[in-house]
């Protein structure tokens, strides 16, 4: 006969208001196998847990029920308490009489709630009687990490993991790490030069012994599970031998062909063999194959002739490398919404209407104008510049409903940069609200207005057109209640931040969730902000939504600390609530394999002594299984069972109802 204890929690008045907990406890005592019952105000409190431990020891309990809140809340608490008293923790079960009973019944006479609580608790008791003690699953962990994306968030994550003494593979799609931050001129609110604070980190990432940089590479395929991922990475052909290249730049010098520079966003041209920007890391040029006459038509080849160490190979091909890692940090960043979507602003039609990112390049000392603000059409210094905020952001109809978060701040920064470079110029900013939440952010915006003479106008722009070499901007200033017209020389659009193209495909490869804007979902927006639903995969930076540099860096570090915590033990313990296959009855129909959302079921062959395959069987990989139970429902021969929730247990519970 089992010796079961039942502990009924009052949860202050949360349960006691509609459930007579004393009566529940008394009724339970009448059941066979129940040797101890009690009710208490807060079972989860320290005295409550003490009571539980003492009762286990005094009454020699071999199983216990806590009738309280949802198991999501305190299952771990009570299982730990049971374990401390010498019991197998999985011999402790929770009955939910709060969320599923007291909170949904309003009968203060307690009649309904009490009867229901008695039923629910009795069912759990019957289920508990069929419990088998379970042991935590131990999984070996490979202590190497993969970071996808070499922007500031990815670099920070890689550096922190490397500083923790673990190996990191940093994969970057572009020929250089640095991401969007490398494009920025100066950063708010301190106005330090972006390159000056970013490049030391880039160089550190290159020189760190624990970091392997795989630039010009993309993740092709991800298999496995936490602690044991197998990742296939496509290394796009650079046509330059990275090992031997000295980065002298002779090839770039001699290359006679030019094409539009993606890094400069159409404001400048670059050579066909190129590095995106002067401080590129690694400082190894790549050949832009579709634009290279040598590769396309076998003409030219100047770069190979001048190359001293002879490291240019026009026959180089893409290759796939396979890496085994224990954890993955996804930091793939953002891109900007196409401005052409908003015809009223004339982007693409009017040359002097540019995006905020293009303005960053104009203001950057390493940019196409060497840091002078010159408009694209005729190279003149603009005397009147209009900045338009919320282009695509907070626009449910044509854009996105969310706020892009950084535009208010960078527009204020732009007006300052402009004033610092063109002293007699006038800047105008059309805004809907100024969102400057952050340390020293509001002061920064006020400084732009009060000190650097930015004229802020509350309202949107509805039309931008050209007239006599001027760009006429027509909008509103709702503060004075007037329609406003400005003859501008240049217009800068603060374009919405959107997720990267292909963000969804990568999420599918990784098995992580994303929202309708294809930003990746965190496990919990407040309490688990850098984890995903897939164990072992972490997030950092703007791949989750718009954020600024300090936030991205903080998340990079946060993700790294999660990775290091995972790597701190040789083995990782997981909950043993997983599926198991009965080998004698499984007939290998593979319905479970198709049904499993986590790809946790493998096909296993059974061989005879000669090594011939005699039978196939389904086998559950406990490292991947999340215990959802889909396979149990799918199995036609009833060969799969879920530990802790076996058919036998579920039937016992239902029968006692």
Partner 1 sequence: MKIKLLKEEIESASIHHLQRISGEDLKKCYQCGNCSGGCPVSYEMEIAPSQVMRFLQLGKIEEVMKANSMWVCVGCLQCYSRCPKGCSVAAVLEGLRQTVLRKGEDFEKISKIPMQFLKNAPQQAIVCGFRKFVS
Binding residues vs partner 1 (CB under 8 A): 383-384, 426, 428, 446, 449-450, 453, 455, 457-458, 477, 479-487
Q: Using DSSP, state whether 479 is helix, strand or coil.
A: coil
Residue 430 — φ and ψ, nearest 5°?
A: -95, 125
CA-to-CA distance for 532 and 514, rounded, in angstroms?
Answer: 10
Identity of the residue, 188 or 428, whose beta carbon is nearer to partner 1 in the bound complex: 428
**Nearest one of 549, 523, 527, 554 to 538, comparing CA atoms:** 523
Q: Minimal distance in Å, beta carbon 384 to partner 1?
A: 7
Q: Minimal distance in Å, beta carbon 360 to partner 1?
A: 24
Query: Which of left, alpha, beta for 613 (phi over 0: left; psi -120 to 50: alpha)?
Result: beta
CA-to-CA distance for 416 and 434, rounded, in angstroms?
Answer: 16
CA-to-CA distance for 583 and 121, rounded, in angstroms?
Answer: 34
Q: Minimal distance in Å, beta carbon 449 to partner 1?
A: 6
Identity of the residue, 311 or 429, whose beta carbon is nearer to partner 1 in the bound complex: 429
Q: Minimal distance in Å, beta carbon 352 to partner 1?
A: 17
Identity of the residue, 408 or 496, whose beta carbon is nearer to partner 1 in the bound complex: 408
CA-to-CA distance for 244 and 76, rounded, in angstroms?
Answer: 56
Q: Minimal distance in Å, beta carbon 456 to partner 1?
A: 9
Q: Minimal distance in Å, beta carbon 426 to partner 1?
A: 4
Identity of the residue, 104 or 479, whose beta carbon is nearer to partner 1 in the bound complex: 479
Identity of the residue, 252 or 472, whose beta carbon is nearer to partner 1 in the bound complex: 472
DSSP for 32-99, please give it.
Answer: TTEEEEEEES-TTSHHHHHHHHHHHHHTT-SEEEEEES-HHHHHHHHHHHHHHTTS-GGGEEEEE-II
Q: Using DSSP, state whether 542 is helix, strand or coil.
A: helix
Respond yes or no on whether the N-terminal peptide bond of residue 410 is cis (omega within 30° of 0): no
Q: Minimal distance in Å, beta carbon 403 to partner 1?
A: 20
Q: Minimal distance in Å, beta carbon 484 to partner 1?
A: 6
Identity of the residue, 32 or 481, whose beta carbon is nearer to partner 1 in the bound complex: 481
Q: Minimal distance in Å, beta carbon 363 to partner 1?
A: 21
Q: Minimal distance in Å, beta carbon 450 to partner 1?
A: 5
Show Cβ contacts of residue 652 under 8 Å, excluding neighbours closer than 6 positions.
Answer: 126, 127, 129, 130
What are the C-alpha distances in Å from 640 to residues 134, 380, 398?
17, 74, 50
| Count of CB atoms situated within 10 Å of the CB of 365 | 12
Cβ pair 428, 386 in contact under 8 A: yes
Max intra-chain CA distance, the chain: 97
**Nearest one of 334, 340, 369 to 353, comparing CA atoms:** 340
Identity of the residue, 259 or 436, whose beta carbon is nearer to partner 1 in the bound complex: 436
Q: Minimal distance in Å, beta carbon 24 to partner 1?
A: 57
Q: Using DSSP, state whether 180 is helix, strand or coil.
A: helix
Q: H/E/C letters for each residue in 472-495?
A: EEEEEECCCCEEEEEEECEEEEEE
Identity of the residue, 206 or 466, whose beta carbon is nearer to partner 1 in the bound complex: 466
Identity of the residue, 196 or 479, whose beta carbon is nearer to partner 1 in the bound complex: 479
**Residue whose entry in the numeric block shows the structure tokens 């539980």:** 52
Q: Minimal distance in Å, beta carbon 381 to partner 1?
A: 14
Tokens representing 360 are 């960053």
Q: Minimal distance in Å, beta carbon 344 to partner 1?
A: 18
CA-to-CA distance for 486 and 317, rounded, in angstroms?
Answer: 54
Identity of the residue, 482 or 605, whose beta carbon is nearer to partner 1 in the bound complex: 482
Identity of the residue, 383 or 508, whose beta carbon is nearer to partner 1 in the bound complex: 383
Identity of the residue, 25 or 457, whose beta carbon is nearer to partner 1 in the bound complex: 457
Cα angle value 292/376/383 (rounded, 5°): 160
| Parallel/antiparallel/unpaired status of strands 327-330 and 186-187 | unpaired
| Count of CB atoms situated within 10 Å of the CB of 102 | 27
Identity of the residue, 482 or 568, whose beta carbon is nearer to partner 1 in the bound complex: 482
Cβ pair 574, 136 in contact under 8 A: yes
Identity of the residue, 373 or 540, whose beta carbon is nearer to partner 1 in the bound complex: 373
CA-to-CA distance for 220 and 234, rounded, in angstroms?
Answer: 6
Q: Minimal distance in Å, beta carbon 430 to partner 1?
A: 11
Residues constituting the chain: 657
Q: Minimal distance in Å, beta carbon 465 to partner 1?
A: 15
- CA 546: distance to chain centroid? 12
**Residue whose entry in the numeric block shows the structure tokens 């670099």:** 155
Given CA atoms 137, 143, 146, 150 in this order, what sign does their dihedral have?
A: positive
Identity of the residue, 428 or 520, whose beta carbon is nearer to partner 1 in the bound complex: 428
**Residue whose entry in the numeric block shows the structure tokens 């920070």:** 156
Given CA atoms 256, 262, 266, 267 in this order, what sign does their dihedral have?
A: negative
Q: Minimal distance in Å, beta carbon 306 to partner 1?
A: 52
Identity of the residue, 455 or 628, whose beta carbon is nearer to partner 1 in the bound complex: 455
DSSP for 332-353, please give it.
Answer: --EEEPPGGG-GGGTBTTBTTE
């Amino acid at each position: 006969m089992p010796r079961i204890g039942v502990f009924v929690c009052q949860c202050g008045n949360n349960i006691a208001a509609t459930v007579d907990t004393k009566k529940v406890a008394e009724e339970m005592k009448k059941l066979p196998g129940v040797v101890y019952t009690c009710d208490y105000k807060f079972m989860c409190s320290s005295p409550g847990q003490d009571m539980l431990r003492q009762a286990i020891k005094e009454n020699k309990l071999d199983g216990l029920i806590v009738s309280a809140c949802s198991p999501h809340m305190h299952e771990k608490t009570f299982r730990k308490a049971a374990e401390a008293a010498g019991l197998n923790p999985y011999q402790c079960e929770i009955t939910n009489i709060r969320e599923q009973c007291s909170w949904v019944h309003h009968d203060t006479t307690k009649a309904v709630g009490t009867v229901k609580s008695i039923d629910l608790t009795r069912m759990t008791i019957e289920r508990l009687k069929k419990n088998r003690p379970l042991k935590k699953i131990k999984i070996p962990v490979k202590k190497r990490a993969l970071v996808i994306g070499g922007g500031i968030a990815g670099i920070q994550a890689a550096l922190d993991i490397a500083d923790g003494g673990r190996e990191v593979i940093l994969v970057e799609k572009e020929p250089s790490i640095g991401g969007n931050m490398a494009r920025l001129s100066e950063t708010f609110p301190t106005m330090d030069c972006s390159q000056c604070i970013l490049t030391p980190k880039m160089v550190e990432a290159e020189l760190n012994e624990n970091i392997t940089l795989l630039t010009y590479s993309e993740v092709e395929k991800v298999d496995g599970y936490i602690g044991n991922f197998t990742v296939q990475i496509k290394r796009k052909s650079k046509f330059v031998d990275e090992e031997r290249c000295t980065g002298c730049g002779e090839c770039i010098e001699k290359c006679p062909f030019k094409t539009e520079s993606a890094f400069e966003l159409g404001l400048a041209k670059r050579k066909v063999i190129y590095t995106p920007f002067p401080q590129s890391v690694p400082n190894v040029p790549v050949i832009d194959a579709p634009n290279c006459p040598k590769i396309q038509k076998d003409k030219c080849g100047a770069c190979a002739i001048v190359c001293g160490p002879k490291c240019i190979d026009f026959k180089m091909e893409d290759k796939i490398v396979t890496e085994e890692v224990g954890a993955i940090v996804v930091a793939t960043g953002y891109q900007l919404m196409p401005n052409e979507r908003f015809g009223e602003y004339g982007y693409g039609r009017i040359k002097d209407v540019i995006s905020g990112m293009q303005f960053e390049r104009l203001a950057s000392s390493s940019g196409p104008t060497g840091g002078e603000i010159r408009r694209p059409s005729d190279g003149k210094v603009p005397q009147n510049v209009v900045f338009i905020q919320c282009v695509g952001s907070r626009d449910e109809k044509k854009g996105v409903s969310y706020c892009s978060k950084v535009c208010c701040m960078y527009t204020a920064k732009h007006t300052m940069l402009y004033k610092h470079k063109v002293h007699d110029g006038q800047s105008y900013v059309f805004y809907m609200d100024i969102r400057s939440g952050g340390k020293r952010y509001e002061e920064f915006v006020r400084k732009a207005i009060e000190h650097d003479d930015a004229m802020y106008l509350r309202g949107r722009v509805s039309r931008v057109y050209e007239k006599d070499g001027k760009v006429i901007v027509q909008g509103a200033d709702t503060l004075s209640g007037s329609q406003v017209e400005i003859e501008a020389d240049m217009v800068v659009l603060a374009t919405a931040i959107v997720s990267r193209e292909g963000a969804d495909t990568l999420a599918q490869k990784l098995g992580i969730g994303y929202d309708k804007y294809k930003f990746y979902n965190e496990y919990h927006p407040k309490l688990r902000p850098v984890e995903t639903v897939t164990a072992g995969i972490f997030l950092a930076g703007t791949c989750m939504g718009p954020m600024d540099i300090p936030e991205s860096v903080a998340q990079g570090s946060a993700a790294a600390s999660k990775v290091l915590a995972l790597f701190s033990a040789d083995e990782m313990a997981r909950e043993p609530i997983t599926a198991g296959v009965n080998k004698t009855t499984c007939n290998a129909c593979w319905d479970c394999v198709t049904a499993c959302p986590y790809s946790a079921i493998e096909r296993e062959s059974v061989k005879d002594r000669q090594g011939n395959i005699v039978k196939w069987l389904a086998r559950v990989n406990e490292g991947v299984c999340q215990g959802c139970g889909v396979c149990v429902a799918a199995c036609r021969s009833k060969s799969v069972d879920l530990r802790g929730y076996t058919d036998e247990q579920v039937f016992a519970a239902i029968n006692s109802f």
